Amino acid sequence: MTKPFRIGTRASALALWQANWTKAELERKWPGLVVELVPIKTTGDKILNVPLSEVGGKGLFTKEIDEALLNGQVDAAVHSMKDVPFQLPQGIDFGAIPEREDPRDALVSNGRQIDALPPAARIGTSSLRRQVQLKHRFPSMRITNLRGNVDTRLRKLTEGEFDAIVLALAGLRRLGREAVVSQILDEELMLPAIGQGALGITCRDNDAATREQLAVLDHSSTRVAVTAERGLLSALEGSCKVPIAGHAVLENGQIRLKGLVANLAGTLVVRGEVSGDPNMAHQLGITLGKDLISRGADRILAEISQHGTPR
């Protein structure tokens, strides 16, 4: 009997959609391959009553899955790329970065766009990155932490706890919930999270057979863009405690990367943009990170490191 190809995944509806998509694509491209999903509960899944920025460190949604991969419990793992720390654990690498879904954020309200909401509207989001960009543009709005799966967040909106919530467009599309979107937020208002909309499929770096199997899912343009974004993340040593945003695109043979760092109050936002050779994607991200640091991001990072996030 052929040994199944085991994929580690979180058990949320979106994570399972992503893992099932990976399973279906692998079985389609490798006839005879039997793929089995192995749901794994992560730290981020266990602690739901505390803002992510207070739970701590890197790898909230990946650590336990990484451990299962390294100890041979699974052969590969499917992550939302925006959850993956800038430094992978030793012995793990990206076997594939498939084609990206739309990376932008979406406003879900009672149909009104963000400019039509009341000045003191209650906006729900779990992301510091979204919170500070909203505070910067709409300082009178009441931005409140909102955690839970997509259905939980939508239910809280329906029950009147919020006037609007902000979610990743990619997740809503993958779950077939795009009809709830009131407005897709442009990058000038809401620069996406690094890696948003992309999947990171990891495996053991010395597992040549698995790497070969996963390679058929790789999308070169997405890999280049995400590599640039993660270069920026590594330069800033980013985690969920720090409001960092970044998005890269390939245009006319060049890669263009935008980045942003903000303080927790949303009163200071440092933005930058670079373009360059796609073959130097990671270094390009580091270059932009150093530029942001030279223009004030260092003070923001030091302040957050010293005082932590507000409770």
Which CATH number belongs to the domain containing residue 245 in this structure? 3.30.160.40
Q: Are residues 83 and 129 in the same domain?
A: no
Residues 139 and 121 in one domain: yes
- Assess contact for 117 and 141: CB atoms under 8 A: yes
Task: Please give the tally of structural domains in the chain.
Answer: 3
Contact 182, 189 (CB under 8 A): no
Per the domain annotation, does 189 fall within a domain? Answer: no
Does residue 172 sit in helix, strand or coil?
Answer: helix
What is the amino acid identity at position 277?
A: D
159 and 287: one domain? no
User: Is 31 in the same domain as 11?
Assistant: yes
* Residue 142 near residue 122 (C-beta atoms within 8 A): yes
pLDDT of 310 > 80? The answer is no
b/e per residue, 196-221, with b = 16+ CB within 10 A?
Answer: bbbbbbbbbeebeebbebbeebebee
Task: Output the domain CATH number for residue 168.
Answer: 3.40.190.10
Residue 190 counted as domain residue = no
**pLDDT per position as a tens digit, 58-116:** 577 789 999 999 999 999 999 999 999 989 999 999 999 999 999 999 999 989 999 99
Catalytic residue at 83? yes
**Are residues 265 and 135 part of one domain?**
no
Asked whether the beta carbons of 126 and 259 are under 8 A apart, the reply is no
Same domain, 65 and 205: yes
Instruction: Extract the tokens encoding 295.
Output: 């223009």
Q: Identify whether 193 is part of a domain.
A: no
Annotated catalytic residue within 75, 83, 105, 207: 83
Q: Say yes or no: 56 and 202 in one domain.
A: yes
**Domain membership of residue 224 as a residue range:** 219-311
Answering whether pTM is above 0.85, one says yes
In this structure, the answer to whether residues 204 and 226 fall within a common structural domain is no
Residue pair 69/131 in contact by the 8 Å Cβ criterion:
no
**Hey, which bits of 43-121 come out as E strands?**
76-80, 92-96, 105-108
pLDDT band at 52 (very low <50, low <70, confident <90, very high): low
